[in-house]
Amino acid sequence: MRQLPPGDDLRSDRDVPEEIRYDPDLAVHEPMQPPDAPIAPSRRRSPLLVLALALPALAIVVYALFGLIANEGKSSADYLDEIRMGRGAAWQAAFELSRLLPLEDPARRDSGFVPRLLVVFESARDDDPRLRRYLALALRELRDPRATDPLLAALSDADLLTRIYAAWALGAIGDPRAAEGLVPLLEDEEADLRKVAAFALGALSDWGAAGARAAPALRAALNDPVEDVAWNAALALGRRGDAAGLPLLRRMLERSYLAGVRRPDENGILRPLTEPQKDEAILNALISLSRLGDRGSLGTVRSLRDADPSLNVRQAAGQALAMLERAPIR
């Protein structure tokens, strides 16, 4: 199965969604030969060495300072104008726009901002794919239902990351019409697209006309060979009160099971889950099991509350336990 292609698109930035963010270790460490005898430390300070160490630090400070000056006071409209005028690298302006929108006071944006952004998004289909990706992220931050149709159309883009970002944005916007485009993605050959489609369907409060097809498709996804897809399907069903994923949700509480789960890195090499990733799986499962009122998991939840190595998990398990103990016996 093809993995997401690495590229120079700031996917290592923490503001980019975790599903498509990479952190490759580019350092190369060569072994150093030990000296034959102890070396006496010099009491002299080399001004050349100090200068060599200071220059990179000074360069970073100057770069950051000029970056702050250049971007100080810029509004979302300013970035959108940069993109429309094609000044510089438009995709970089789109990236900055997607970062600014959740921080900016919506009152600063005029009523024509979203329509102008949608025009730019639709006209960017043949441009640098990075531009359309980050515009999709910007539309996600706006959560405007007027973006639903353009984002649904973007689900058929040739660029995989654009399709993933568009699906993620549709889940955030919450328009029930999005389910029509998301349900078919549960059978896509790309695991990352199946994963985000299941997640986005779980974020929708209503599946609209696709409701009759969404639940069966998510139940089928419980058997997906990629754990993340199956987990998101179970969580999405749990949000709707559907207990079909209950056995899988209970397994997600077991650290012994999570220890055997592998995820491919950016090179396609399977890696064990990190401890934060394990914690995240357990926390999500606890929320879903609480919502379902699953008293059958009381024993496991008590064990997590009393003995799990993660403080966050112990606290969440205590809250879930209080809810489950009040749940009616079925």
What pTM was estimated for this model as a whole? Answer: 0.77
Tokens 């900016």 — which residue?
A: 104
Exposure string for 283-320, b = 16+ CB within 10 A, e = fewer = bbbbbbbbbbbbbebeebbeebbeebebeebeebbeeb
Kindly tell me if the per-residue pLDDT of 10 is higher than 50. no
Confidence of residue 3 (pLDDT cuts 50, 70, 90): very low
Domains of the chain with CATH codes: 75-175 (1.25.10.10), 241-330 (no CATH)
CB 115 within 8 A of CB 78: no
Burial degree of 243 (CB within 10 A; 0-12, 13-18, 19+): middle
Q: What is the mean pLDDT of residues 89-107?
A: 94
Confidence of residue 72 (pLDDT cuts 50, 70, 90): low
* pLDDT computed for residue 89 by the predictor: 85
Least confident among 26-40, 221-235, 244-258 = 26-40
Kindly tell me if the per-residue pLDDT of 124 is higher than 70. yes
